[in-house]
Copies of this chain bind each other. A is one copy, B any other.
Amino acid sequence: MIIVFKPKTKDEDVQKIVKQVEDEGLTTHIVVGTETTICGIIGDVTKVDPKQLEVSPVVDHVMRVSEPYKLANRAFHPEDSIIDVSGVKVGGDHLALIAGPCSVESKEQVIAIAREAKAAGANMLRGGAFKPRTSPYAFQGMGTAGLDILVAAKKETGLPIVSELMSADYIDEFNEKVDLVQIGARNMQNFDLLKEVGKRCTKPILLKRGLSATYEEWIMSAEYIMASGNPNVILCERGIRTFESYTRNTLDLQAIPVIKRLTHLPIIIDPSHAGGKWWLVEPMAKAAVAAGCDGLMIEVHNDPEHALCDGPQSLKPQKYTELLRQIKGIGEIVGKKI
């Protein structure tokens, strides 16, 4: 960590700050420049709050030189983490292909879609039982009954289940019924929920990026889960909020190489929620695989025109089948096996 002092700070004022830092057991190193004096801090800088040092009237600003996350940091864990989701591997050269309806609507619907998705090549089934909706008047999901339908579809097809958890009250039920527990974008910084799934969830976590979360904040939310006891975290980019309003969100595919450089965690892409239009899903899914992602989560619906939620961004099974054919070819080029 580096303290940058204001121009013309007196030596005695610099020394006061130095003493404050050294009292925490850290070592300091002063560099006197032509205009500015700086102070390098050596040791376990997590003991020092940079914001706090900036309160001093002689401190201009404080800069970190290393990342605030440890467990998720690739610097301390150079190999890719490969997460096992009830037998399906995510990370390394494996490609997770998660498909299914936005919301669980009925047993017939889910089983029919699950069969077609599996036939196309999907290796996990998604479906929302608890739905975060902007409006209190919109369909809020089938809840527990929805989870049971997913369990039935798993029994039929063998596909592990991905579903979103919105409240810690349901962790035990998710541990029993779900294989990969999704934390939604809007709960990415619901820190109480992160701690609870870290402590109590026995299944891996799929952590979606918040709509305006920086890479660092997103990784820090993964760090919350890991520091609370659950090391199995998969990150999921699903579009960020920008000034553009023609698309629902802007899909940030640079997240793939960046996350892989900063962390050892797998990253998958959700092109369905990002753009909000079905005709964006196909090109963005291919782009994501070409950029090296570890998986795709895609909404597939056998009757999008009558879906209870997010029909406009769902692919029909036939289109999904065609898409996976091209994905397979691109995966081979970039070193992913399907």
Q: Which residues of A contact B (CB under 8 A)?
A: 2, 4, 7, 29, 31-36, 38, 40, 42-44, 46, 49, 51-52, 54-56, 60, 63, 65-66, 68, 75, 132-138, 166-168, 186-187, 189-193, 195, 211-212, 214-217, 220, 223-224, 227-228, 240-247, 250-254, 256-258, 261, 274-276, 278-280, 283-284, 286-292, 304-307, 310-312, 314, 326, 329-330, 333-334
**Closest-CB distance, A182 to chain B (whole angstroms):** 15
Q: A55-B312, A65-B38 are in contact. Are A167 and B192 (CB under 8 A)?
A: yes
Counting every copy of the chain, the complex holds 4
Known contacts: A214-B244, A254-B275. The answer to whether A290 contacts B286 by CB under 8 A is yes
- Which B residues lie within 8 Å of A68 (CB)? 135, 137
Interface pairs (17), CB distance under 8 Å: A34-B43, A35-B75, A51-B311, A55-B307, A132-B191, A135-B220, A136-B223, A167-B168, A212-B241, A214-B243, A215-B244, A247-B258, A250-B250, A254-B274, A254-B284, A283-B292, A287-B290
Q: How far is the CA of A40 from the CA of B290 in the complex (A)?
A: 40
Question: Which of A7, A138, A241, A290 counts the most B-chain CB atoms under 10 A from its CB?
Answer: A290
The one of B42, B217, B334 in contact with A134, judged by C-beta atoms closer than 8 angstroms, is: B217
- Measured between beta carbons, the chain B residues less than 8 angstroms from A216 are 246
Contact between B190 and A190 (Cβ–Cβ < 8 Å)?
yes
Q: Which of B191, B241, B283, B312 contacts A133, CB < 8 Å?
A: B191
Q: How far is the CB of A266 from chain B (nearest CB, A)?
A: 15
Q: In the complex where A46-B137, A223-B136 touch, is A280 in contact with B258 (Cβ < 8 A)?
A: yes
Distance from A188 Cβ to chain B, minimum over Cβ atoms (Å): 8
Q: How far is the CA of A274 from the CA of B250 in the complex (A)?
A: 14
